C-alpha cells in the first residue's frame, strides 16, 4: 500500500478494533464501508485494493464526524513542502554563515568551510561504522527510535481520552518508523548539501562586489603547521581544480597583518565543499530517496492477521462455511438464531452455518470430521468438563486441520447461578483448563442473551 492508503488503514483499523461496542463505528457503518469498497474495486480486485479503498472511504466518513483518529491520520500525512522549507532554510543559513569579518578579510583557518568539511567527514565515518556494525540487522535506528518515543508521548497524552488514538499511534509508529527514518535521512542529506552550497554562494556573491583578502593568525600554530592543516582540508579542492595549495613560505607571507587577494582560496574552498560535502550528500540523498520511495509504496503489505482476514471474508462473494458441532446437548431454535447472529457478525455478515447433530457423551472417537472452513465446538457450561471426554472431542475435531473455536454456552448455568459469581468463575476455570490442554482458546457465550462483542473477539485469533 502507498503511504496515504496505509495511514488510512491504520486509523480505521484502530477504530474498528477498539470500538468493541460498535457505538462510534456501527455495524451499519462497517457494512457500508465494505459494500462501497467492493463496488468500487470489483470482485476480482486484489485484497490490498479492497482493504485500502475501504479504509479511505471509512476515513472520509470518520473525518466528517470529526473523529480524533481521522484528524490525527490527516495531520500525520507527509507534506513535501516541509522538506523544501528545511532545505531552503539550510541554504539561507549557509549563505549567511561565512566568517568574513567587517575588514573584508578571510581567515583561512576559520571559515565555515573547514568546519563543514570536518563535520561531514565525521558523519560519513559514523554512517559507515553503523552500516558495518548493524549490517543484516532489522533493529530500529535512531530516527525510528525517535519516532517510537514521540509516539509514546502521544499515547500517554491520548490514552485516557480515546483508545482508538492510542491504538492508531502504536500501529502507525511501528509500521512507519522505517519510512520516516529514510525520509529524515533524505531531507537531512539534502539540507547538508544546501548548507554547503549556500556557503559557496555567499562567498562568491560577496566576492563579486568586494575584494576579500586572505590571511591567518594563531597564538599557537606556526606557518608549517598552518600549511599542513590547509593542505589537508583543501586537498580535495586542489585535486579537482589543479590549484596547488600554497607552500609554507607563501602561507607565512600572509600572516596577519599581511594578506593577499582571496580568489585562489575561494576556489579551493568551493571545490572542496563540492567534492567532500555536496556530491556525497546528494548521492546519499538519492539512495535514501529510493529507499523512501520503496518503503512508502509497500507499507502494511502483510494482510495475514485476524482483522484483515475478517474484512476479506466479507469481500468474498461466497459466505464462510462454519460447522458447529454441539457436544452432549441440543440447541433450541432461539439459541440457533442467536448463534447465527453471533457468527454472522464475526464473519462480517457472511457466515453459512451447518449445525451438526449433537455428539453423545462417550462417542468422541466416532465424530464425523466437518468439511467447513471453520469449526466451532459448542459445549454446555452446566456440564463438568473432563479431559478424557471433552478434551478427546476437541482433539478429534482438530484432526480436520481447520481453524477450531471453542465456545461454551452459559445460558442454563447463568439462569441458575446468576448471583453466584464464584461458582461461575470456578466452572470457567475448569473449561479453560480443558481447552488449554487441547491447545485452544475459549469464548463464553450466553445464547439466551447473546453478546456480539465476545464472539467477535474470539475470532481475532483465527489464522
pLDDT value, residue 225: 93
pLDDT in tens, 8-19: 999 999 999 888
How many C-beta atoms surround the C-beta of residue 82 within 10 A? 11
Q: What single string gives the DSSP state of each residue in 396-463?
A: HHHTT-S-EEEEEE-HHHHHHSTT-HHHHHHHHHHHHHHHHHTT---EEE-TTS--HHHHHHHGGG--
User: Considering the entire predicted model, what is its pTM?
Assistant: 0.71
pLDDT value, residue 148: 47
How many C-beta atoms surround the C-beta of residue 47 within 10 A? 15
Measured distance CA(427)–CA(422) in Å, rounded: 9
pLDDT value, residue 262: 86
pLDDT value, residue 287: 95
Q: Which CATH class is domain 318-461?
A: alpha beta
Label residue 155 exposed, middle or buried (CB < 10 Å: 0-12, 13-18, 19+): middle
pLDDT value, residue 159: 46
CB neighbour list of residue 306: distance below 8 Å, 6 or more residues apart: 459, 460, 461, 462, 463
Give me the helix-helix angle, 47-64 and 27-41, nearest 10°: 130
* Domain ranges within the chain, ordered by starting residue: 3-77, 80-297, 318-461
Residue for grid cell 509514546? 152
pLDDT value, residue 243: 92
Low-confidence ranges of the chain (pLDDT < 70): 98-103, 110, 135-161, 314, 316-318, 348-350, 417-419, 453-463
- Residue 402 · residue 375 · CB < 8 Å: yes
Residue among 58, 35, 59 nearest 315 (CA):
35
Amino acid at each position: 500500500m502507498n503511504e496515504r492508503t496505509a495511514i488510512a488503514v491504520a486509523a480505521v483499523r484502530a477504530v474498528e478494533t477498539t470500538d468493541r461496542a460498535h457505538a462510534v463505528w456501527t455495524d451499519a457503518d462497517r457494512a457500508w464501508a465494505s459494500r462501497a469498497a467492493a463496488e468500487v474495486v470489483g470482485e476480482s480486485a486484489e485484497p490490498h485494493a479492497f482493504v485500502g479503498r475501504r479504509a479511505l472511504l471509512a476515513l472520509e466518513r470518520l473525518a466528517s464526524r470529526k473523529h480524533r483518529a481521522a484528524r490525527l491520520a490527516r495531520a500525520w500525512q507527509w507534506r513535501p513542502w516541509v522538506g523544501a522549507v528545511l532545505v531552503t532554510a539550510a541554504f539561507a543559513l549557509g549563505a549567511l554563515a561565512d566568517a568574513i569579518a567587517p575588514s573584508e578579510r578571510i581567515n583561512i583557518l576559520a571559515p565555515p568551510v573547514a568546519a563543514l568539511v570536518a563535520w561531514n567527514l565525521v558523519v560519513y565515518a559514523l554512517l559507515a561504522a553503523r552500516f558495518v556494525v548493524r549490517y543484516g540487522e532489522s533493529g530500529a535506528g535512531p530516527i525510528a527510535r525517535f519516532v517510537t518515543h514521540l509516539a509514546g508521548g502521544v499515547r500517554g497524552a491520548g490514552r485516557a481520552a480515546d483508545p482508538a488514538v492510542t491504538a492508531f499511534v502504536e500501529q502507525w509508529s511501528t509500521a512507519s518508523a522505517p519510512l520516516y527514518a529514510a525520509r529524515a535521512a533524505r531531507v537531512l542529506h539534502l539540507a547538508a548539501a544546501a548548507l554547503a552550497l549556500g556557503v559557496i554562494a555567499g562567498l562568491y556573491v560577496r566576492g563579486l562586489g568586494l575584494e576579500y583578502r586572505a590571511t591567518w593568525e594563531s597564538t599557537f600554530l606556526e606557518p608549517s603547521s598552518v600549511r599542513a592543516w590547509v593542505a589537508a582540508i583543501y586537498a580535495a579542492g586542489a585535486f579537482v581544480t589543479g590549484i596547488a595549495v600554497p607552500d609554507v613560505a607563501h602561507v607565512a607571507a600572509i600572516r596577519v597583518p599581511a594578506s593577499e587577494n582571496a580568489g585562489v582560496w575561494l576556489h579551493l574552498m568551493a571545490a572542496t565543499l563540492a567534492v567532500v560535502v555536496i556530491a556525497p550528500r546528494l548521492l546519499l540523498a538519492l539512495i535514501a530517496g529510493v529507499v523512501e520511495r520503496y518503503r512508502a509504496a509497500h507499507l502494511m503489505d502483510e494482510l495475514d492477521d485476524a482483522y484483515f482476514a475478517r474484512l476479506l471474508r466479507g469481500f468474498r462473494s461466497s459466505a464462510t462455511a462454519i460447522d458447529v458441532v454441539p457436544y452432549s446437548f441440543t440447541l433450541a431454535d432461539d439459541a440457533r438464531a442467536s448463534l447465527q447472529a453471533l457468527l454472522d457478525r464475526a464473519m462480517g455478515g457472511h457466515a453459512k452455518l451447518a449445525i451438526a447433530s449433537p455428539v453423545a457423551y462417550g462417542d468422541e472417537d466416532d465424530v464425523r470430521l466437518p468439511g467447513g472452513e471453520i469449526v466451532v465446538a459448542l459445549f454446555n457450561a452446566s456440564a463438568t468438563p473432563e479431559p478424557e471426554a471433552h478434551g478427546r472431542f476437541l482433539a478429534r475435531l482438530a484432526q480436520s486441520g481447520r481453524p477450531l473455536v471453542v465456545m461454551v454456552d452459559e445460558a442454563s448455568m447463568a439462569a441458575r447461578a446468576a448471583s453466584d459469581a464464584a461458582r461461575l468463575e470456578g466452572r470457567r476455570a475448569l473449561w479453560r483448563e480443558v481447552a488449554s490442554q487441547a491447545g485452544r482458546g475459549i469464548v463464553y457465550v450466553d445464547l439466551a442473551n447473546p453478546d456480539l462483542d465476545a464472539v467477535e473477539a474470539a475470532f481475532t485469533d483465527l489464522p
